[in-house]
């Protein structure tokens, strides 16, 4: 049974994990985009995080939508950029025609980029390959008007950390990693030990392919504790665990993931966390715990990507027993 669980989990994790996680070498190996299902909730998240909305209008009958989902939204670099800089939400036009009408969607697929005030930043109609889509996303983010707006907001209120972080994220998305880090480093000097800034810098380091530097920063956030670091404390666990998996520190990853899953707030990352922990358990030949985590994944994400993978592995293991 060990060989079955380990082999299946190894394949599932290495195919779906983000850059550096757990296979550092393949930057294109990434999990799928975590699409929000409610436009209202996505808009609320956009406003609270200052990240723009990325809306994918699609329908079950749309063949080009499926091709876009498979070839473009399944690309590791696209996933990384969308997850880091946008609030992605998928709208089925057959189920929500009022939203399609509100945004004058005439054909499928249509992708809209909106700022937190629902101002249209860009409209992309039809299928486009991953490389073209990446270029369009980056161009939108780095448009002079967008960056100037964000920079003006910071200059207007230099103490607004939300505005500073939004500006840094946009600069990073435009391809200027060094400038983004400089913006955040300056903010950190004025706000020593601020967990949210440390987390943003760590995320940039990790996305830029510097896991060792990112790990130190995530550790700093966790060292602050839940009370002082606030929501950043919770958010630091999962990316740190992925770095540990990439370094084959399976026991460290299990410890970090256990701390994450043991928190009261059950956010969407829980299914992924249990799935990754099941992989770490399988590597250490702890099959019972690996299967227990897979069942938790199935309970948390019965209709999602991780739930489907967990169900498939559990079914094969059960067949092996018979």
d(CA 152, CA 194): 22
> What whole-number percentage of the chain has pLDDT above 70?
86
317: Cβ–Cβ under 8 A, 6 or more apart, which residues?
Answer: 1, 4, 5, 8, 291
Lowest average pLDDT, out of 69-83, 94-108, 111-125, 166-180, goes to 166-180
Domains of the chain: 1-27+232-322 (1.25.40.10), 32-141 (3.40.30.10), 142-208 (1.25.40.10)
19: Cβ–Cβ under 8 A, 6 or more apart, which residues?
Answer: 26, 27, 28, 29, 30, 76, 80, 206, 207, 209
Is residue 28 over pLDDT 50? no
What is residue 90's predicted lDDT score, i.e. its pLDDT?
96
Cis peptide upstream of residue 22 (ω within 30 degrees of 0): yes
* Verdict on whether the full-model pTM lies above 0.75: no
What is residue 322's predicted lDDT score, i.e. its pLDDT?
59
Query: In angstroms, how far is CA 322 from the centroid of its own chain?
Result: 38
Mean pLDDT of 216-234: 94
Cis peptide upstream of residue 212 (ω within 30 degrees of 0): no
Contact between 235 and 202 (Cβ < 8 Å)? no
Query: What rounded mean pLDDT belongs to the chain?
Result: 86
Token duo for residue 52: 């723009």
């Amino acid at each position: 049974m060990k060989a079955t669980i380990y082999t299946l989990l190894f394949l599932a994790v290495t195919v779906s994990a983000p850059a550096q996680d757990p296979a550092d070498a393949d930057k294109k190996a990434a999990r799928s985009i975590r699409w929000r299902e409610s436009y209202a909730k996505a808009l609320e998240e956009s406003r609270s995080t200052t990240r723009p909305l990325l809306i994918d209008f699609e329908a079950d009958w749309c063949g080009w939508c499926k091709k876009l989902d498979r070839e473009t939204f399944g690309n590791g670099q696209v996933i990384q950029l969308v997850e880091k800089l946008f609030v992605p939400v998928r709208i089925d036009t057959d189920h929500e025609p009022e939203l399609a009408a509100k945004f004058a969607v005439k054909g499928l697929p249509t992708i809209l980029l909106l700022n937190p005030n629902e101002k249209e930043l860009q409209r992309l109609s039809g299928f486009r390959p991953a490389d073209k889509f990446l270029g369009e996303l980056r161009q939108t983010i780095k448009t002079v008007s967008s960056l100037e707006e964000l920079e003006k907001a910071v200059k207007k209120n230099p103490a607004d950390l939300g505005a500073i972080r939004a500006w840094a994220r946009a600069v990073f998305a435009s391809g200027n990693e060094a400038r983004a880090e400089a913006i955040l480093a300056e903010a950190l000097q004025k706000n020593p030990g601020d967990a949210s800034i440390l987390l943003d810098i760590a995320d940039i380091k990790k996305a830029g392919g510097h896991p060792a530097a990112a790990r130190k920063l995530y550790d700093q956030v966790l060292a602050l504790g839940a009370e002082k670091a606030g929501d950043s404390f919770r958010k630091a666990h999962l990316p740190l665990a992925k770095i540990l998996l990439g370094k084959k520190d399976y026991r460290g990853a299990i410890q970090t993931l256990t701390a994450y899953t043991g928190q009261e707030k059950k956010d969407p990352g829980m299914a992924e966390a249990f799935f990754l922990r099941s992989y770490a358990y399988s590597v250490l030949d702890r099959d019972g715990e690996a299967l227990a985590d897979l069942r938790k994944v199935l309970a948390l994400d019965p209709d999602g990507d991780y739930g489907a993978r967990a169900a498939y592995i559990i079914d094969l293991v059960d067949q092996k027993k018979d």
